[in-house]
Amino acid sequence: MEVKEQIEQLRKELDRHNYNYYVLNAPEISDHEFDRLMRKLQELEEAHPEYYDPDSPTQRVGSDLNQDFTQVAHRYPMLSLSNTYNKQEVAEFYERVQAGLKGEHFEICCEMKYDGLSISLIYEHGRLVRAVTRGDGIQGDDVTENVRTIRCIPLRLRGNGYPENFEIRGEILMPWVSFEALNKEREEREEPLFANPRNAASGTLKSKNSSVVAQRKLDAYLYYLLGNDIPSDGHYENLQAARSWGFKVSTAMKKVTTLEEIYQYIDYWDTERKNLPVATDGIVLKVNSLQQQRALGYTAKSPRWAIAYKFQAERARTRLNAVTFQVGRTGAVTPVANMDPVQLAGTIVKRATLHNADIMEQLDLHIGDMVYVEKGGEIIPKIVGVDKDARNAQTGPKAQFITYCPECGEKLVRYEGEAAWYCPNDTACPPQIKGRIEHYISRKAMNIDSLGPETVDDYYHRGLIHDVADLYDIRVDQINGEDGTREKSAQKVVRSIADSTKVPFERVVFALGIRFVGEIAAKTLARHFKTMEALKTATLEELLQINGIGSVIAESVIRYFHNGTNLQLIQRLKEHGVQMALSEEELSTHSDKLSGQSIVVSGVFSLHSRDEYKAMIEQHGGKNVSSISSKTSFVLAGANMGPAKLEKANKLGIPILSETEFLKKIE
């Protein structure tokens, strides 16, 4: 496989896992596997900067934004931590800190890494005024009303000595006891179970009904204090002060100075954490002095003064009873192992993903085998090995991957360069139809936020919708309930669907769900062809001439527009008023003012977000690049620009523009 295709495939895979993890709260792979794929992509992108993409998963921190809540910008960006899974990398972190501080004495604060939902709490004059989720690190969801129901979070502070205005960050958690009780209730009601306490906490905190949040007995641990007037230079000391103000701060925190003491802390909690009432997935190590933290600074995505050590996944042995198969939106068929129930990382595990046919073959699974199961990152179980010595005369036949779709009976196909087998019947296979409708209504596509997967499933089974165009035929009287008590919500649904006709053309292209056409490819195609008619009649040669469109995407576009059902669908969408061309306003905002220029965006901005600036650069013909080189045209710099980038730009004589200078340049 060519490097470019390998990079694109990794981006697609990581984008999907990001979406599953942050939006659907239904991750398919472990944190360890996700980190491995991310590192692989980072290495390829660094070796091949010509394939830079501003929307690559490596350029983002991740997102849990929910459009049902107001978006609030973080005063200080909420960055993620670099992850490590072995003590050697912990030692390398310790040595980097030593070198960065030029031999200066330093302390490390060791603390538990709780597995929940990150939260930022804002206090003014001793009262809670706002609670915001991490979101994409730059802005998050305002969930203040829901957080107010969590009993361990003080609405008014105790004692005195706290700053007039400050921010404290922590983790919202669902204790094991609450989690097991919740899943038991859901099982009795035949509702889907939460995979783990983190998913349950996340789903609960985003509930529209704060009374639901109160009933589920969430917990919280606070672990970082920010502000202009906080009491101490010591991170540990600040949290002890916060404890006196009424905050729940972990008693497991410990200050150390040597690498050996860090190892002792890791070894102790690797075992003892299993006795904690809440889920943990590692240890966080932070330089204790805030002054030293500032001296060490940040990379683009994480602080240099902190690192997360992730515990190795727990493993259990159980019996494989059957392999079943699930069909996703794109037609990808995923094998699932069904096993005897086994206790693993605090939950009962009955099913585990097998990912694809190749992994099934590598494992050499037989029905009745005793298999080893892990919950990597304590999230999604997967089979990691087979106890072949336990095989006997009662062991069944080898588990075979299917050749026909379990939902519609179509013969499966495998595309070149793809690990998955696909059902090609994308116009009549039920899971694909429902999946495409769910994709169409999603935030980054048509943003019909009044609908969700359960509602789509209900409408589909009632015969109200068979494809995305049917959405526009839905009437209030069809969905307002038998007794008309859901009139208000029905009106909201119909209004949201009607509003989607204003969504720009480039997002319409993405919303169609053309296989292999992601958000970036959809933008590229929309901006190049400008109308659906031109895109529809494009030849393979024309598509391949577009920068960023390879043979896999080009051939998929051709296949899509050669399908009569898809052409009819587009015609119906057009009749319903969906945008089928770039608007005059969109066309007028594009220019070639930055044509041929490679631009690095670095720092924290106040007038527009980082993503908005990157979009402006593309809008005016420029190219976003991640690293500074002699080919860089200029750097768009906000506050706290990375010191390494600043030094390199000065060394190479690369111009550095402020926000106002940049905006003046493109006005």
Is-catalytic flag, 651? Answer: no
Digit-coded pLDDT (tens) for 95-106: 999 999 998 999
The most distant pair of C-alpha atoms in the chain lies apart, rounded to whole Å, by: 78
The H or E element that residue 128 is part of is strand 127-133
DSSP 604-620: B-SSS-HHHHHHHHHHT
**Sequence-separated (6 or more) residues with CB below 8 Å from residue 175:** 197, 217, 219, 277, 278
CATH architecture of 85-310: 2-Layer Sandwich (3.30)
Domain 505-587, CATH:
1.10.150.20
The pLDDT of 392-421, averaged and rounded, is: 91
Higher pLDDT, 41 or 121: 121
Structure confidence at residue 24 (pLDDT): 54
The pLDDT of 146-163, averaged and rounded, is: 87
Digit-coded pLDDT (tens) for 248-291: 999 999 999 999 999 999 999 988 887 888 888 899 999 999 99
CATH class of the domain defined by 592-666: alpha beta
pLDDT, mean over the chain: 87
Helices (H) and strands (E) in the chain — how many of each? Answer: 25, 21
Q: How confident is the model at residue 379 (pLDDT cuts 50, 70, 90)?
A: low
Digit-coded pLDDT (tens) for 183-242: 877 766 555 677 678 888 988 888 777 777 888 889 999 999 999 889 999 999 999 999
505-587 has the same fold as 430-502: yes
Residue 284's DSSP bridge partners are 111, 308
Domain 3-59, CATH:
1.10.287.610
Which is the catalytic residue, given 40, 102, 113, 411?
113
Q: Which fold has domain 313-424?
A: OB fold (Dihydrolipoamide Acetyltransferase, E2P) (2.40.50)
Q: So where are the chain's domains?
A: 3-59, 85-310, 313-424, 430-502, 505-587, 592-666
Structure confidence at residue 377 (pLDDT): 44
Determine the Cα–Cα distance for residues 349 and 372; give it in Å rounded to an integer. Answer: 12
Angle at 131 between CA 126 and CA 133, to 5 degrees: 150
Determine the Cα–Cα distance for residues 244 and 478; give it in Å rounded to an integer. Answer: 56
Determine the Cα–Cα distance for residues 93 and 96; give it in Å rounded to an integer. Answer: 5
Q: Which fold has domain 430-502?
A: DNA polymerase; domain 1 (1.10.150)
pLDDT-above-90 percentage for the chain? 46
